[in-house]
Amino acid sequence: MGRTAGRSPEDTRRALLDAAGEAIRTRGVNATLDEIARHAGVSKGGLIYHFASKDELILELARDLLASFRAQVEGRLDPADTEPGRYTRAYVRALLAPAADEVAVRKAMALITQLTTVPAVAELVDADTRQLNAELHADGLPPDVLTLVIAAADGVSSAPLWGETVDRPAIRQLERRLIQLTRQPAWWQQLPWEE
Amino acid sequence: MGRTAGRSPEDTRRALLDAAGEAIRTRGVNATLDEIARHAGVSKGGLIYHFASKDELILELARDLLASFRAQVEGRLDPADTEPGRYTRAYVRALLAPAADEVAVRKAMALITQLTTVPAVAELVDADTRQLNAELHADGLPPDVLTLVIAAADGVSSAPLWGETVDRPAIRQLERRLIQLTRQPAWWQQLPWEE
DNA sequence: GTTACTATACCGACTGGTCGGTACAGTAAC
DNA sequence: GTTACTGTACCGACCAGTCGGTATAGTAAC
């Protein structure tokens, strides 16, 4: 048999990556190739046609996730915003914003942690993190404020790892406050010091 | 052969749990029983003697990690501190303090995320998180301040997941500021609102 | 406009190795 | 004699990767 449905190879590839993500997120990296393939409406042979090995599939999935996260951040840059901290604000929005793809972004975090068992992926993630951090630190905010804002954003995005579902309104408020902080870094730095 | 070294069964059990943690942290849940056993200086048969199955070993490891984290938090409760937010402060200290076991606590986070691929562990973690959250919310702090403090602490502890090593001084400062915040929640709530 | 051929995009049966778990006989410490 | 193992041998399941086959689209000579 050949191309049965009117689906383009690129669509199949996409479907395979999505299916792999879904499967690995729930079942871990021991998710079967067969399982992934079938979930994408393809046979195992078809999967292998697109991705030579399981490791390659996983590596490609990792690349895809990192790239899409980058795109999320970049997409949330405010063109009208030229003040220091604009990139940090986009970062916060990407991690906290309750858009339709918010779930996707945050679930991706949980997924990546699974993928890092493949050494090549671990390196990839490490390099990407370093790069992202460098960009954030070149954003013009005082380091101590940046540390807080990044930590808070990361914390919220890591919450689903523990199965917890944080309530939306609280996150929205936190988002607004964090962004406000990047505009008034002095506020945080002037927290009165007792003792 | 029999008991070769003068090691108590409890020590062997401990060694097995530690070895399992180390192996799974680096190689994922597909780490071999044989591998784990040898790393603990025990044969595979010896491992099975203590843990009937791999799932049981993993489940026990998860229990151990959760319990030791609880112990960490409890151990950092200040007996002289009776103000609202005392439990939250212990939580922050447990996650951010640069003690000798700090690395252990934070690495444990990365490990647990691996273990959650076993459904029973996922439930366990979920239940534990819910409980912990309930205790934190019953700590007398305003919810919005609590959200920030928890998120920031979680964020720092999740950083090693991405391979990044955050610099100590920055974390120490953040720790002090977060604890300060729990003592002056109004400060955060009075962050001026422009726009 | 039919024939011939090629490239693409798969299918699915099979294989070879890996790994969890079992079984058991022996053995050293307590 | 019980506990706490060692060491070996083995079974069965599962699974990644291989491979021969197949359907379809495109191309191009005639």
How many CA atoms does the CB half-sphere of A132 hold within 13 Å?
24
Which nucleotide across the nucleic acid strands is nearest to A42, CA versus C1'?
Answer: C10
Structural domain ending residue among the three candidates B13, B31, B52: B52
Residue B194 lies in a domain: no
Residue B16 lies in a domain: yes
Residue B195 lies in a domain: no
Taken in order A173, A177, A178, A180, the sign of the CA dihedral is: positive
Pair (A92, A126) in one structural domain: yes
* Closest residue in chain A to residue B185, using alpha carbons only: A191
How many structural domains comprise chain B?
2
Residue A122 lies in a domain: yes
Residue B193 lies in a domain: no
Pair (B37, B79) in one structural domain: no
In chain A, which residues have their Cβ closer than 8 Å to the Cβ of B130? 164
SS3 (DSSP) at B170 = helix
> Binning pLDDT at 50, 70 and 90, where does residue B2 land?
low
Report long-range pairs for A84-89 (Cβ below 8 Å, ≥24 apart). Answer: A84/A139, A84/A140, A84/A141, A85/A139, A85/A140, A85/A141, A85/A182, A85/A183, A85/A185, A86/A139, A87/A135, A87/A136, A87/A139, A88/A136, A88/A139, A88/A141, A88/A146, A88/A149, A88/A150, A88/A182, A89/A179, A89/A182
Q: How many residues does chain B have?
A: 195
Which of A83, A89, A162 is best to mutate for the B interface (most B CBs within 10 A)? A162
Pair (B103, B36) in one structural domain: no
Q: Tell me the shortest Cα–Cα distance from B181 to chain A, in angstroms.
A: 8
Is A126–B180 a contact, with Cβ atoms under 8 angstroms apart? no
Residue A192 lies in a domain: no
Pair (B105, B164) in one structural domain: yes
Check residue B3 and give its pLDDT: 56
Check residue B6 and give its pLDDT: 59
Residue B166: DSSP 8-state: -
Pair (A48, A13) in one structural domain: yes
Task: Check whether B63 has a pLDDT greater than 90.
Answer: yes
Is B155–A153 a contact, with Cβ atoms under 8 angstroms apart? yes
Residue A160: DSSP 8-state: G
Check residue B190 and give its pLDDT: 80
Task: Check whether B40 has a pLDDT greater than 70.
Answer: yes
Q: Tell me the per-residue pLDDT of B67-92, one tens digit each, with 9 for 90 and over.
A: 999 999 999 999 999 999 999 999 99
Q: Which tokens hold the place of A73?
A: 């951040």
Residue B147 lies in a domain: yes
Pair (B15, B79) in one structural domain: no
In 3D, which of A146, A152, A137 has the Cα closest to residue A182? A146
Q: What is the distance in angstroms measured between the alpha-carbon CA of B45 and the sugar C1' of D10?
A: 14
Check residue B195 and give its pLDDT: 47
Pair (A42, A85) in one structural domain: no
Is B164–A27 a contact, with Cβ atoms under 8 angstroms apart? no
Q: How far apart are CA A186 and CA A114, in angstroms?
A: 39
Q: Tell me the per-residue pLDDT of B106-162, one tens digit each, with 9 for 90 and over.
A: 678 888 988 998 999 999 999 999 999 999 999 999 999 999 999 999 999 998 888
Pair (A119, A23) in one structural domain: no
pLDDT along chain A (195 residues), means of 10: 61 94 90 94 94 95 94 95 96 82 71 90 95 96 97 93 83 95 90 63
Check residue A1 and give its pLDDT: 44
Pair (A99, A181) in one structural domain: yes
Q: What is the distance in angstroms measured between the alpha-carbon CA of A48 and the sugar C1' of C14?
A: 16
Pair (A156, A175) in one structural domain: yes
Query: A with B: how many residue pairs have Cβ under 8 Å apart?
Result: 142
**Range of A28's domain?**
1-52
Residue A36 lies in a domain: yes
* Closest residue in chain A to residue B25, using alpha carbons only: A117
Pair (A76, A3) in one structural domain: no
CATH number of residue A47's parent domain? 1.10.10.60
The Cβ of residue B16 has, within 10 Å, a number of other Cβ atoms equal to 24
Pair (A33, A66) in one structural domain: no
